[in-house]
Structure 1
Amino acid sequence: MGLFTADEPKRYEIDDKQLICVFCKNETFHTRKEQLHSPTRTILNLEWTDSTATCFVCSSCGYMHWFMR
């Protein structure tokens, strides 16, 4: 997948629970950060101030799981 680094996909736990893909039941993921844009900040050109989420992308099917704390 061209969107990720050359790092190998890994298994992750979130709140002491094994992360498992809800679509294909795979257990390994690539990670990436995604910015959450709001319409108001987009209009004002302030998107850089929006929150970010950690995304776990299934290494098998590509389904993206979003987590934000």
Structure 2
Amino acid sequence: MSDFVEGLKRGAKAFKRALGPSRYEAANIKVICPHCQNDIFDEGSAQLNTAGASLLNLDWLNKSAKILVCTKCGLIQWFGKSLEKIN
């Protein structure tokens, strides 16, 4: 029973790390904040709206971008291609 509880604890910690701030690479280059040189970011996404799609109420057709928010200074960086989380 003790092994089971320890396994649950390890799994919960890994899950928390996977969802929290992390380090990233874009095109095999480590992402660094150009403002404060921090390398830990929160990840999000943002819609790349276009006037035509918005006018027709079709925003869901627009592409989205990944964003990284620096955990130290808050600078937001936009990425149109995929990011890879590294540890």
Q: What band does the TM-score fall into relative to the shorter chain?
A: 0.7 to 0.9
Larger helix proportion, structure 1 or 2? 2
**How many residues are paired up?**
63
1:62 aligns to 2:77 (yes or no): no
TM-score (norm 2): 0.68
Look up the equivalent residue of 2:72 and give its one-letter code: S
Query: Gapped runs of 5+ residues in structure 1?
Result: 1-6
Q: CA-atom RMSD, angstroms?
A: 1.0
Deviations 1:6-53 (A, max 9, x none): x43111111121100011111000000111100111111011110000
TM-score (norm 1): 0.84
Alignment of 1:3-14 (within 5 A): 7-14=19-26
1:18 aligns to 2:7 (yes or no): no
| Structure whose CA Rg is larger | 2
Alignment of 1:38-49 (within 5 A): 38-49=50-61
Identity %: 35
Question: Structure 1: how far apart are the matches of 2:23 and 2:45?
Answer: 17
